[in-house]
Amino acid sequence: MVFTKLITCSGPVNIAVIKYWGKRNEELILPSNSSLSATLNQKELKTVTSVMASESFSEDRIWLNKREEVITNPRLQIVLKAIRERYKQRKGCHDPLLNCKLHICSQNNFPTAAGLASSASGYATLVFAMGKLFDIPVGELSQIARLGSGSACRSMFGGWVKWEMGEAEDGRDCKAVQTHDECHWPDIRLLVLVVSDTPKETSSTSGMASTVKTSELFQHRVNHVVTKRLGLIEEAITQQNFPVFAQITMQESNQFHAVCLDTYPPIFYMNDVSKSIVDLVTQYNAFSREIKAAYTFDAGPNAVIYTLKESVAEITSLLLHFFPPSTQEGFLKGFSFQIDSDQGKLEALKAKVNVPRKVDALRYILLTSVGDGPRVLSEQEHLLSPVSGLPK
């Protein structure tokens, strides 16, 4: 009888508030500074991955978003090797699973390579699924995920997650840890503003390498800024202090993109729409006389706005006014309620906010919250046929 094993899992996106940018060791993916992120609810943003092992397969194969890709990607190979080696150390050379080739099928329900942490959720889900397939202890998985994509280690947990940079040269103390679970701050909401769903021109990997080599601001950031901010924002999350949390989040985003501009040649991830979103949030907070929203941008033009549940309708109404779609159909995603704001206050806001209106500047707005870590899915959710081992 042919040995076969199939498992399917889902994994979340994470959005950093303290940014990871730059490595002190390229091969081991050891970051230049610790970072911290929120794991997002998988209802709106997730990767689903099926991994099937079979003695009948002649080679390892992988399908990403319904297209077969070459499986020779160096990072992917490092992850596959790490999983197999750990399993071999515990089970020995003659276990049937070690004689199997793998078929991997993975799909995102959001844009890939557009600055929405698709590599993080992708590698986290792959490593989690392979961990289940090969029975690897959960405690080892964040370090393996890091070898595929640095920030993937943070998507191995739900809630609020810190990636500890560690000190050891071999990376044994470089890992992700959950600082607060997904239930800790239930009123936090995130508005994901998709400006572009096309791949970015400068990959994060090459961008980081250029920054480390050429940016003087980067060195100042690593040596004098990040550690202090990390301590302050952890305390703000613990105390559910939104104004402090929001201010640090925006300062971090600003400095990350300043470091990109200080890189030579400069790297431009934000565009004119991104800058208009920054202006809108800044003026909205000024009008409110308190910080009610915080923007953050990763390596791409798409914005994420952190806010509290009570402010979602007001902020969304403002976004709909200044960045109106030609058609409302499918523009608001994840909203289970009617957008209903104080019209008098909204009109006053429109009059005060000095941002040019841009029709169809946003592809869509997605509302989400802080969520849990990777999950094992049911047999009905397999992306691969249990019979043929090919995508359904």
CATH of the domain at 359: 3.30.70.890
Residues 156 and 42 both lie in one domain: yes
**In this structure, are 196 and 270 located in the same domain?**
yes
Q: How would you class 113 by CB atoms within 10 Å of its CB: exposed for 0-12, middle for 13-18, buried for 19 or more?
A: middle
pLDDT score recorded for residue 79: 96
The helix/strand/coil state of 267 is coil
Backbone angles phi, psi at 199, to 5 degrees: -60, 145
Q: Which two tokens stand for residue 115?
A: 């600055």
**Per the domain annotation, does 207 fall within a domain?**
yes
Do 195 and 177 share a structural domain? no
| pLDDT tens digits along 168-204 | 999 999 999 999 999 999 999 999 999 987 777 888 8
**Interior CA angle at 338 toward 334 and 339, to 5°?**
90
15-74 confidence digits (pLDDT tens): 999 999 999 999 999 999 999 999 999 998 999 999 999 999 999 999 999 899 999 999
The pTM (predicted TM-score) of the whole model is 0.94
3-state secondary structure of 384: strand
Same domain (yes/no): 197, 72: no
Question: 220 with 350, same domain?
Answer: yes
Packing angle of the helix pair 343-352, 312-322 (nearest 10 deg): 50
Residues 204-244: tens digit of each pLDDT: 889 999 999 999 999 999 999 999 999 999 999 999 999 99
**Residues 119 and 210 grouped into a single domain:** no
In one letter, which amino acid is 130?
Answer: M
Could you give the number of structural domains in the chain?
Answer: 2
pLDDT confidence of residue 100? 95
pLDDT per position as a tens digit, 236-285:
999 999 999 999 999 999 999 999 999 999 999 999 999 999 999 999 99
Residue indicated by tokens 């403002």: 318
Residue type, 75: R
The answer to whether position 222 is within a domain reads yes
Residue-range definition of the domain harbouring residue 60: 4-181+375-381
Residue 330 included in any domain: yes
Same domain, 37 and 100: yes
Please indicate whether residue 346 or residue 115 has the higher confidence score (pLDDT): 346
The string over 114-143, giving b where at least 16 C-beta atoms fall within 10 Å of a residue's C-beta and e elsewhere, is bbbbbbbbbbbbbbbbbbbbbebeeeebbb
Does residue 385 contact residue 54 with C-beta atoms inside 8 Å? no
Task: Say what the pLDDT of residue 200 is.
Answer: 76
Give yes or no: residues 308 and 205 share one domain.
Answer: yes
Q: Say whether pLDDT at 385 is over 80.
A: yes
391 part of a folded domain: no
CATH of the domain at 125: 3.30.230.10
Rounded CA gap, 30 and 147, in Å? 9
Give a yes or no: residue 390 inside a domain.
no
The pLDDT of residue 117 is 59
Q: End-to-end CA distance of the chain: give it in Å, rounded.
A: 24
pLDDT tens digits, one per residue of 87-116: 998 887 778 899 899 999 999 987 554 446
| 78 and 204 share one domain | no
The helix (run of H) or strand (run of E) holding residue 281 is: helix 272-288
Residue 116 has what pLDDT? 61
Let me know whether 159 and 241 are in one domain.
Answer: no
Q: Is residue 225 included in any domain, yes or no?
A: yes
Query: Is the domain of 175 the same as that of 206?
Result: no
The verdict on 247 and 153 lying in the same domain is no
